[in-house]
Amino acid sequence: QVQLVQSGAEVKQPGASVKVSCKTSGYSFTVYHIHWVRQAPGQGLEWMGWVNTNTGGTDYAQRFQGRVTMTRDTSTATTYMELSGLRSGDTAVYYCARRRDTAMKTPFDYWGQGTLVTVPS
Amino acid sequence: SNVLTQPPSVSVVPGQTASISCGGSNIGSKSVHWYQQKPGQAPVLVVHDDSVRPSGIPERFSGSNSGNTATLTISRAEVGDEADYYCQVWDSSSADPYVFGTGTRVTVL
């Protein structure tokens, strides 16, 4: 069955970086791209960007450009999201989600379980 | 950038119908997807491409989209439908093309 399994919770100091992984299984890795979405406590969903699992190409939301890096490892079907310059406002649950590569408008049909990143103020 | 506006909360009596709106400029020209998120869980896709239910989603969930408003309808609401619901589109004209709605908390009481 399709699975997206994320790495465990992290606590980071302000200014540090965090790298969250998303290991996929149960389907052909390069047929679905991986997006990252975060959710601050009590808030809504916020799209951060995505990585083309076939080419490694990326596209990031404007507010994260310069601070986020998304990569993939096709040998392990794993995608990574690294966020640098952490501040208390980055405290959130970070989700990976897959999207079929057939068109840009396809939905996020499976999601990881989420990774809580805490940045104390 | 594109903004998708949802009502913060909707209440429904068990067995009745709940409707959740998602407002956006000319949203009727876009494909709208809906996600259900229960407390402490990841979102789950319940309707895609305006009105298509993924496998395993009850027929009680339906969607429509026209003009400036998309709507998710939950018929014969159950206590288990209590959750936050988010609409989402891909907007090719936006700098950040993957846009989520503001979210709606559905309470079944």
pLDDT in tens, B39-63: 999 999 999 999 999 999 999 999 9
> Confidence band (pLDDT; 50, 70, 90) for B1?
low
- Read off the tokens for A29: 């890795």
Residue B3, pLDDT above cutoff 90: no
Q: Cβ of B55 under 8 Å from any chain A Cβ?
A: no
Q: Within chain A, which residues score under 70 in pLDDT? A: none
Of A45, A62, A63, the CB nearest to B100: A45
- What is the arithmetic mean of pLDDT over B15-31? 97
Q: How large a percentage of chain B has pLDDT more than 70?
A: 99
Q: Which of A44, A59, A61 sits opposite B86 (nearest CB)?
A: A44
Q: What is the pLDDT of residue B2?
A: 74
Q: What is the percent of chain B with per-residue pLDDT over 90, rounded to a whole number?
A: 94
Q: Nearest Cα to A7, choosing from A93, A101, A68?
A: A93
Partners of B86 on chain A (C-beta within 8 Å) are 44-45
A3, A36, A45, best to mutate vs chain B, most B CBs in 10 Å: A45
> Cβ–Cβ of B100/A62 closer than 8 Å?
no
d(CA B46, CA B14): 19
**Using 50, 70 and 90 to split pLDDT, how confident is the model at B12?**
very high
- CB pair distance less than 8 Å for B48 and A113: no
A88 burial (CB, 10 Å; 0-12 / 13-18 / 19+) is exposed
**pLDDT value of position A102:** 86
